[in-house]
Amino acid sequence: MVTRLNRFFTQLTDHQDGGKLLLRLMVAGLMLFHGIAKAQNGVGWIGDSLVSMGFPYFIAYGAYIGEIIAPVLIILGILTRPAALVMAVNMIVAILMVGASSKFFTLTKVGAWGLETEVFFIVGALIIMLLGSGKYSVVSADYR
């Protein structure tokens, strides 16, 4: 009975490419909200923070690459693996820039880990990088 139930459930849910698409849409789609906010409000505060740390201001525009361009590429399934790596690196830089590493051993008021959102994006992007886009993409397999 258990074997038949497991086999039936596996037949219903064995859609790896659909799972990859859902993962891409979720992780990159949520990151895109952060990018849209930066597009609307600018990256001035990021540039100011970078300058105070001794880096050139223009590096702030990298946030657009990591939070708009890379997520759009991931959603569309274009150059998915490199775009996912860019998104992960962007989040690591963001953590280091804003001093979020101090939240490493903290919990929020509701018991969530202090870096939960940031790590969600990093790990999600790394999983996308490892899995690739799957067959659901707007381009041929050569450009996924």
pLDDT category at 102 given cuts 50, 70, 90 is confident
Number of domains the chain is built from: 1
Is 81 part of a structural domain of the chain? yes
Which pTM was predicted? Answer: 0.84
Q: Which domain holds residue 85?
A: 16-143
Whole-number CA gyration radius for the chain: 18
Mean pLDDT of 97-108: 75
Is 4 part of a structural domain of the chain? no
Is 11 part of a structural domain of the chain? no
Is 10 part of a structural domain of the chain? no
Q: Identify the DSSP state of 111.
A: S
> Residue 120 pLDDT > 80, yes or no?
yes
Is 8 part of a structural domain of the chain? no
Mean pLDDT of 107-111: 83
Task: Identify the pLDDT of residue 101.
Answer: 63
Is 6 part of a structural domain of the chain? no
Backbone angles phi, psi at 111, to 5 degrees: 90, 5
Is 3 part of a structural domain of the chain? no
Is 38 part of a structural domain of the chain? yes
pLDDT category at 100 given cuts 50, 70, 90 is low
